[in-house]
Amino acid sequence: MTADRQRSGPCPERVAVYPGSFDPITNGHVDIIERGARLFDRIIVAVLVNPDKQPLFSVEERVETAREVFRDEPKVEVDAFEGLLIDFARQCKASVIVRGLRAVSDFEYEFQMALMNRRLAPDIETVFMMPAEAYTYISSRLVREVFTLGGTVQGLVPEEVETRLRRKFARE
Ligand code: PNS
């Protein structure tokens, strides 16, 4: 091995943040997090505190739910954040932002965010991951809409979310 390829110490930990509203977390999100957990040493699910939006679930509920879903996955952590994502990523010593890309329609918004984040923090890389095909049409917004209007969301969200939805809408 040449001198420049020799390591001087242990490999640094690769930490990624996976930010979003997660109102609620869907099986599409879960799929991306599981893929991320295979690539990174730690993946931090970062739930946005957005005072401008009226969410269905409070930040505390969203954090709690995601923690329940990943209770047996030590590589996955869940936290709330407010302010700039790159500031939160720095606090976590994350070098990667993970985002899911479902369809071309996601691209423009994601492209703008990735380039803005790169401008603000050139040392933090955005990595896009595709969920399994079965989840490409799922969004939190559609899950909320379908459930609110009386439809089933079984198979689209983790059981923990279904339970909380039923409780919230008194449909036990
Ligand atoms: O699930 P969402 O709602 O598409 O997630 C959007 C999110 C949370 C990734 C985005 O709104 C965000 O990063 N907000 C934090 C504020 C910020 O850093 N803005 C500047 C970068 S675009």
DSSP 48-66: E--TTS--SS-HHHHHHHH
Q: Is the CB of 25 under 6 A from ligand 1?
A: no
**Contact criterion met (CB below 8 Å) for 164 and 57:** yes
Q: What is the pLDDT of residue 152?
A: 96
- The per-residue pLDDT for 170 is 84
Written as tens digits, the pLDDT of the chain (172 aa) is 444 555 567 788 999 999 999 999 999 999 999 999 999 999 999 999 988 889 999 999 999 999 999 999 999 999 999 999 999 999 999 999 999 999 988 999 999 999 999 999 999 999 999 999 999 999 999 999 999 999 999 999 999 999 999 999 987 6
Q: Helix and strand tally (H, E) in the chain? A: 6, 5
Q: Is 140 a catalytic residue?
A: yes
- Ligand 1 centre to CA of 84 (Å) is 8
Nearest to 65 by CA among 48, 81, 46, 78: 78
**117 CB less than 6 Å from ligand 1?**
yes
Ligand 1 neighbour 80 (Cβ under 6 A): no
CB atoms under 10 Å from CB of 95, counted, come to: 19
For the record, the structure tokens of 134 come out as 């079965």
Among 130, 157, 127, residue whose Cα is nearest residue 141 = 157
**Nearest residue to 154 (alpha-carbon basis) of 164, 162, 142:** 162
Q: Please give the pLDDT value at position 1.
A: 45
Say what the pLDDT of residue 11 is. 82
pTM equals 0.94
